Amino acid sequence: MTRAALSCLVLLLAACDGGAAKSGEPPAEPAKKVEVPPPAKAEPAAPPAPKYPQGEADEACAKIVVVAWQGAEGAEPTVTRDKAAAQARAEELRTKLSSGTGFAELAGESDEPKTKAKGGAMGTYAKDKWPEKYAPLKDVVFALGIGETSAAVEHPHGFVVAQRCKVEKVHARHILVRYAGAKNAEAKIKRSKEEAQKLATELHAEASKAGADFEALAKKRSEDSSAERGGDLGSVGRGMFAPAFETAAFALKPGELSAVIETDFGFHVIQRVD
């Protein structure tokens, strides 16, 4: 072999050896597998709070507005709209109530005198003592949530829009002083309205004295059928009293006395029990 050929062979072997792992070096480690954590489970979304809280199953408070048509039961002679117009007006009022208009604001347009005088308040009734007059509204009201407004419901007196209210009660006693011509006053009552107010003021002063026994005073001086019970009216829900009486009674704290309150029945002195 010539010297030149031998040199080429040495260079070739050196080039090939340069790419091999050197003796004594550890083999390269394999790439580590990266553990990918599983995706976090999404928590189930909480159900949205109901827009209208559920009412009690066995008792309900309701407000109503009645739109009568000409010829409807109990409709005033001034009512001249036909049935279709009454229904359209009732739906219009329902839309206003559902959009937040206060019930008292629209109750003045009601064609039902009794509830109209109380700002639309129909009253608070147990399910098994629902008044027959409002029987068509019973299932409608109990299906509503507190503050929810019904569709217009046909009733003998007209189309009725009802709104359910929260059941709130007050337990009160009272002393009633009547005058001639007051609602439900007996013929034997001869005093004037001014005399009745003066007497009620005197009884209020007596009931306000330290240690006064309101129950005994009511038994002796009240001119209401509740007198025999010491003026005790029991626990009564909203919408059941005359508006002025109700406002005064609910504003009291237990044990407190109201000022002298006037209603169509006469003059009252009220004590809240609880």
Segment 54-112, tens digit of pLDDT: 999 999 999 999 999 999 999 999 999 999 999 999 999 999 998 889 998 999 999 99
Query: Which residues of the chain register pLDDT less than 50?
Result: 1, 4-21
Is residue 170 within 8 A of residue 240, CB to CB? The reply is no
Give the 3-state secondary structure of residue 248.
helix
pLDDT for the residue numbered 98: 87
pLDDT for the residue numbered 20: 46
> How far, in Å, are 4, 6, 10, 144, 191 from residue 16 at the CA level?
19, 16, 10, 92, 134
**What is the reported pTM?**
0.78
The CB density around residue 53, as the number of other CB atoms within 10 Å, is 12
Angle at 126 between CA 51 and CA 234, to 5 degrees: 115
**Tokens 């629209």 sit on residue:** 106
Separation between Cα atoms, residue 99 and residue 85, nearest integer Å: 21
pLDDT for the residue numbered 104: 87
pLDDT for the residue numbered 9: 42
Q: If phi over 0 gives left and psi between -120 and 50 gives alpha, with beta otherwise, what is residue 53?
A: beta
Please report the sign of the dihedral spanned by the C-alpha atoms of residue 52, residue 57, residue 59, residue 63: positive
Element (H, E) at 55: none
pLDDT for the residue numbered 241: 97
pLDDT for the residue numbered 192: 98
pLDDT for the residue numbered 11: 42
Least Cα distance to 175 among 153, 205, 204 occurs for 204
Pairing of strands 261-263, 232-237: unpaired
Is residue 248 within 8 A of residue 270, CB to CB? The reply is yes
Please report the sign of the dihedral spanned by the C-alpha atoms of residue 163, residue 165, residue 167, residue 171: negative
The CB density around residue 128, as the number of other CB atoms within 10 Å, is 7
Least Cα distance to 272 among 127, 169, 166, 161 occurs for 169
**Tokens 């406002």 sit on residue:** 247
